[in-house]
Chain A
Amino acid sequence: MNDEAGQRAPRKAVEIKGVSKVFGTYQALKPVSFDIYDNEFFTLLGPSGCGKTTLLRMIAGFEQPTAGQIFLHGSDIQGLPPHRRRVNTVFQSYALFPHMSVEQNIGFGLENLGWSKDRRDARVADMLRLVHMEAFAGRKPQQLSGGQRQRVALARALAPEPEVLLLDEPLSALDLKLRQAMRDELRILQRKTGITFVFVTHDQEEALDMSDRICVLGDGEIQQLGTPAAIYEEPSNRFVADFIGETNFLDADVIAVDGEQATVKTQFGMTLTASHKKAVAGQKAFLSIRPEKISLPAQDNPIAVDGTIMSTNYLGGYTYYLVEAGGTKLRISKRNSVSRGQMFEIGQSVKVGFAAESVRILGA
C-alpha cells in the first residue's frame, strides 16, 4: 500500500514526540522524539537505568508519560489504558498464566477481543505451528522449559495481530546456547509476520545481530539512533563507542576541522585526518579505534607504532593482545585464520599499525 507513492515511504508505526518521564524527583527519561517504522525490527539498547524499559512500558500503556505524546499509526494513544491499545508485550518473565494451558494462554487475548470459538481455535493452532509448539498445546506453563515458555509468550502476544509487538528483554532468562537460537527465531518470526517489533535489551551483541535500527539510550536520553553498522562504525560519542562493542580510546588535540573530516595530533606524535563527530579545532578529542582494525604486526599501514606485547588471551577463533605502545595500552584482536599460526609472546617487541579510515574522532 505504500507503493502507491512510487517510492518506498515507510509508514510510521510509532511516533514518540517529546516524551519524558519523571518518577518522584528522578528523571528516568529526558524528552525524546523518534519514529519507529512499519515492519521494522527496532531495538532500544542501553545499560540498566537508561530509561529503555520505561519507554517500552509507556508505549504499552503501563506508565503514563510525564510530558509528550505517543502516536500509534497516527492516532494519539495518550490516556488509553493498556487493554485498549492494539499493542502486545512479551514480558521479561514471560508472565504466562500458570493456571491456564498453553492453548488457553494463547487464546486469552483473542477471547477478550470477542473472537468466536472457531476463529479462536484456528488462530491458536496457527500460532502453535508458528512457534513449533503443537505438541505442547495442553501443557501448563510450569511443565515447559525456559525456551518453550518463551515461544508460548511470543505466540500469545502475536496471536491478536498487534500493530506493534513489544519485547522486554525476552532473552535474558535463557542460557547462552538457547539465546543464540532464539535470536534467529525472533528475526525469522518478525519477517514472517511482518509485525513491527520493538525490542528492549542491554546486550549490544543481541542488538547488532537482530535489529534493523537501534536506538542507543544512556542517562535517560538518546545517544544515537541508526543501523547497527552505522552505530558500530560511526559512533556519535564516547558513550556509544564504549557501549557498543569494544574499542580503544586515544587522546588527541584537534588541529583543524573541515566538514566531515578533522585533523588531529595523536598522543603517538603523528597527525592524522579522519571522520569526526563534534570535534572542535583547538580542543581535546578522543580517537576511537576498534581492536580488530589494528594490524599486528603492522603491514603497509600508513600509521605504525612500536609496541610491546603485555598479555595474550586465546579465545579460539580470535586471540586478544594487549599491546603497550606510545604510553598507552591498545587492545588488539587478531583472527586465528591459520591453524596454529603465528602467535606472539608476552614481552615481544612488535609494530602495530592502522589506517586513518578506521579511526573515529569524537569531540570531548
Chain B
Amino acid sequence: MKPSSKNPNWNLLGLLPAHLIMLLTLIIPIGIIIVVSFSTRGPYGGFEYVFTTAPYKQLLFNEGWTGELEFNPQYLIVVARTLLLSAVTTSICLLLSFPVAYFIALQRPTIKVLLIYLVTLPFWVSMIVRVYSWIIILGKDGVIEKTLRGLGLVDQMDSLLFGNTAMLLGLVYSYIPLMILPIFASIEKLDPALIEASHDLYGNRLTTLRRVILPLTRPGMIAGAILVFVPSLGAVLEPTLLGGGKTMMMGNLIQLQFGGARNWPLGAAIAIVLMAAVMVFLIFQGLRSMRSEGLERAA
C-alpha cells in the first residue's frame, strides 16, 4: 500500500530521472554561465579560467586609460528599455486578452474548444517563421504599404518596420496566447451565479465587471502577466528582426556579447543579472499570492 513509508529511498529513486533532467538542463548550464561570468575574456572569444569581477563592473563602469572607473549608463539604458518594453507588451496583452478570453468563455463548448485551439495554433509554427511573416506584412512593399498605396491613401510612407512599434507588435503577437490561456481558465472557473448575484443586487454591467469579475479573475491575469513579462525580457528575435537591431534589448545585448563582440564573460554577467531580476520579481509575486491565500485559509 505505502511503499514510500516502508522504504523512503524509493522516493528518491523514482524521482531520479526528473532530478537528473533538472541537473543536466538547468542547474549545470546556469552553473557554467555563472563561472563564465566571473572569468576573463579570451583573446579570440571564449574565456579563460581566471577569476575576475570585471564583467560585472563593466556593466556599470568604463575603465579609462589610466585604470580609473567612470560611470557608463549604456547598459543600464538597455536594461531600462527592456523593462519598459516588456511592461508595455504585458499591458497591451492584458488589455487585449481579457475581452478575447471572456468572449471565448461565453461560447458553446464545441466553439470554445475550436477557439482555444486557434489561439494556440501559432505555437505549431516556428517562431522565426512567424516573426519573418511580420516583415512581409510590415516591410517595404509589404502587404500594408501596398494596400494603403493601392487605395491611394498614401503615396510615400515611412517603413513600418524597424522601430519600437514593429518590435512591440511582434512581442505582443508572440506572447499574447500565454496571456489569453490563463485568463480564459480563470474566467471559466468563475461561478456564473456570482455574476447573476451582482446584477440581482442592483449592480449594472460596469459595476459587475469592476467589483466581481475583475477581482475574481485576477489570479489568471497575474499568471498571464508573468508568462508574458518574463519571456519578453529575454526576447531576441523580435528586436533583431522587427526592431532592426537599432534599438537593443537585453536579449540582443547578450547575444551580441557571445557573438560579434566576443565578450563571453560580459554576456554571461548580463544574463545572470537578468535572471536574478526575474527571480526577485517571481519570488516577490509568489510571496504575495501565498500571503493572500494564507489569509483566506486562516480561521
The chain A residues found within 8 Å of chain B, CB to CB, are: 60-62, 81-84, 87-89, 91-93, 95-99, 108-109, 112-113, 140, 142-143, 156-157, 160
Contacts and interface: CB of A to CB of B under 8 A. Distances in A.
Contacts of B204: 81, 83, 112
Contact of A108 (B196, B201, B299): B201
Contact of A160 (B201, B207, B299): B201
A331 to B, nearest CB: 40
Nearest to B196: A62
A92 B215 CA distance: 23
Contact of A95 (B197, B202, B211): B197
A83 B193 contact: no
A142 B203 contact: no
A81 B202 contact: no
A97 B194 CA distance: 7
A96 B200 CA distance: 12
Contacts of A81: 199, 204
Contacts of A92: 193
B191 A93 contact: yes
9 contacts: A62-B200, A87-B200, A93-B191, A95-B194, A97-B198, A108-B203, A109-B202, A113-B202, A157-B201
A246 to B, nearest CB: 34
A108 B193 contact: no
Nearest to A62: B196
Task: Pick the most buried of A83, A98, A156: most chain B CB atoms within 10 A of its CB.
Answer: A83
B158 interface: no
Contacts of A96: 197
Given A92-B193, A95-B191, A97-B211, 12 more contacts: A83-B199, A83-B201, A83-B203, A83-B204, A98-B194, A99-B216, A108-B203, A109-B201, A112-B201, A112-B207, A140-B296, A160-B202
Interface in B265-299: 296, 299
A27 to B, nearest CB: 22
A169 B29 CA distance: 60
B193 A97 contact: no
Contacts of B194: 95, 97-98
A91 B201 contact: no
A84 to B, nearest CB: 8
Contacts of B30: none
Interface in B25-56: none
Contact of B203 (A87, A91, A93, A112): A112
A108 B211 CA distance: 9
B223 interface: no
Contacts of A140: 296
B202 A91 contact: no
A28 to B, nearest CB: 18
Interface of B: 191, 193-194, 196-204, 207, 211-212, 215-216, 296, 299
Contacts of B207: 112
Contacts, number: 67
Given A112-B207, A140-B296, A60 B193 contact: no
Contacts of B299: 143
A179 B211 CA distance: 32
B197 A99 contact: no
A280 B196 CA distance: 49
A306 to B, nearest CB: 57
B200 A60 contact: yes
Contacts of B197: 89, 91, 95-97
| 9 tightest Cβ-Cβ pairs between the two chains A and B | A109-B201, A95-B193, A112-B202, A95-B197, A82-B199, A83-B202, A89-B200, A99-B215, A83-B199
A60 B199 CA distance: 10
A53 to B, nearest CB: 12
Contacts of A99: 215-216
Nearest to B201: A109
Nearest to B202: A112
Nearest to A84: B202
Nearest to A92: B193
A82 B192 CA distance: 14
Nearest to B298: A143
A113 B199 CA distance: 12
Contacts of B193: 91-93, 95
A109 B207 CA distance: 11
A62 B194 CA distance: 13
Contacts of B200: 60, 62, 82-83, 87-89, 157
Contacts of A83: 199-204
A82 B204 CA distance: 9
Nearest to B207: A112
B212 A97 contact: yes
A98 B203 contact: no
A99 B299 CA distance: 15
A142 to B, nearest CB: 6
B199 A142 contact: no
Nearest to A57: B196
A344 to B, nearest CB: 51
Contacts of A91: 193, 196-197
Contacts of A108: 198, 201, 203, 211
